[in-house]
Structure 1
Amino acid sequence: MAYQQYQAYQNNSVNTASPGELTLMLYNGCLKFIKQAKKAIEAKDHQTKNEMIQKTQKIIRELMVTLDQNAPIAKEMMPLYDFVYNKLTQANIKSDLEQLEQAREIIENFRDTWKEVIKQERIRQYGKGVNA
């Protein structure tokens, strides 16, 4: 019963989230899957490592596809997304924690920056700070 309530909450969170909040959720998902991939590499669990890295790569591909190419920042972000995607590929092929860590650092920076953007937008809209 509690699991069903949690699932309903999660679905509602996604369905009612703004585009900015959805992007933040995607970055958080990447970080969660990278953490699980790291544990899997350390445990030599190749199947879980592969699944977690592939989930992260799917999110990165989605971020790449939905990136507004007309936005000035797109020219700077697309190569970074591509870099992260390639680091994830190498981490998966070689079970390389260093490659995985490099991808994690960039995604974490994106996430932290995006959180600040959302916070500033809320301050602008509502005139007060709201935790993202």
Structure 2
Amino acid sequence: MSIQAYQNNSVETASPGELTLMLYNGCIKFIRAGKKAMDQKDIEQKNTKIQKAQAIIRELMVTMNQDYAVANDVLPLYDYMNRRLMEANIQNDSEILDEVEVLVTEFRDTWKQVLLQSRKAQYGTGGTA
């Protein structure tokens, strides 16, 4: 099985929670790639990578379940990250990319813990943490 086929299969068989985790990881990857391109003065790649990170943030925004009260707290943060990515791109500011990477990493790490807790509750595995 090729790497591409494996990746496609992973996405197709992932739960919604796992897909969200993949989005966070992808966003971090694109922010880092954008930062690297910025350091290398590769404006086209920087722009492409940062725009991909923004697209992921927008996807997280539109797929957020509005039924949960936490959405009212999270959506403004997603909007903030999206605006900061735009500013980083326009201003060629890697410090802004660092700031957004920290935020996305915190979201990802929190989401990972949520997934672990829900699996423990669902399957009764893992014992005490």
When normalised by structure 2's length, the TM-score is 0.95
Which residue does 1:52 correspond to in 2? 49
Which residue does 2:16 correspond to in 1? 19
Which residue does 2:103 correspond to in 1? 106
Deviations for 1:13-46, whole angstroms, at most 9, x for unmatched residues?
Answer: 0000000000000000000001101101111111
| 1:64 partnered with 2:100 | no
Which residue does 2:34 correspond to in 1? 37
Could you tell me how far 1:128 is from its partner in structure 2? 1.3
Structure 1: where are the runs of 5+ without partners?
none
Which residue does 2:86 correspond to in 1? 89
| 1:123 partnered with 2:124 | no
Could you tell me how far 1:98 is from its partner in structure 2? 1.1
| SS state at 1:39 partner | helix
Which residue does 1:73 correspond to in 2? 70
Deviations for 1:62-114, whole angstroms, at most 9, x for unmatched residues?
Answer: 11111111211000000000110011000000110111111111100000000
Could you tell me how far 1:9 is from its partner in structure 2? 0.6
Provide the rounded CA distance (Å) in 2 between the counterparts of 1:79 and 1:102: 16
| SS state at 1:101 partner | helix
Q: What letter matches 2:49 in structure 1?
A: M
Paired residues in the alignment total 126
When normalised by structure 1's length, the TM-score is 0.93
Q: What letter matches 1:97 in structure 2?
A: S
Identical counterparts, % of pairs: 56
Structure 2: where are the runs of 5+ without partners?
none
